[in-house]
Amino acid sequence: MKIHLTSVFVDDQVKALAFYTEILGFVTKHDVPIAGTDRWLTVVSPDELGGTELLLEPAGHPAVKPYRDMLAKDGIPLAQFAVDDVQAEYERLRDLGVHFTQEPLDMGTISTAVFDDTCGNLIQIATKPQ
């Protein structure tokens, strides 16, 4: 068994697609209209085009807002992405205007930082544990 797809709820799929591709560097895997203006919209790492897909899922369900609001209030990231160098990625993203709620934090075998994805979520970046 392996993870094929996971999702983040987004307020605006167009804005989310721009952020996740133009700022974070993911590439679009699927972009299929489904209902009204909603789309089946997934992105993947350019390093793993056949890897795990991230669904940029519309946040219209009534349970989504209170769930995300509580996570953000408590500073809990909705998702975590692996990077080779947290400090370098922090600096790259910060220079692109990304707002960080937690600057790089070295915890021994892992380093993390947390940013706002502009679509209603906190996202953590982390080095892979040694």
What's the confidence (pLDDT) of residue 35?
A: 83
| pLDDT number for residue 67 | 96
What is the CB-side half-sphere exposure of residue 120 using CA atoms within 13 A? 20
Q: What is the pTM of this model?
A: 0.93
Residue 128 has pLDDT above 80, yes or no: no
What type of residue sits at position 28? T
Taking 70 as the threshold, does the pLDDT of residue 130 lie above it?
no
Dihedral (Cα; 86, 91, 97, 101), 10-degree rounding: 50
Q: Mind listing the pLDDT tens digit for each residue in 38-95?
A: 999 999 999 999 999 999 999 999 999 999 999 999 999 999 999 999 999 999 999 9
CA-based nearest residue to 53, from 65, 63, 35, 40: 40
Q: What is the pLDDT of residues 6-48, one digit of tens each?
A: 999 999 999 999 999 999 999 999 999 998 899 999 999 999 9
pLDDT tier at 117, thresholds 50, 70, 90:
very high
- In the CATH scheme, what architecture does the domain 5-126 have? Roll (3.10)
Location of structure tokens 């946040």: 59
Whole-number pLDDT of residue 36: 87
- Mean pLDDT, residues 97-112 taken together: 95
Residue 72, helix vs strand vs coil:
helix
What is the pLDDT, as a whole number, of residue 48?
A: 95
* Measured distance CA(49)–CA(52) in Å, rounded: 8
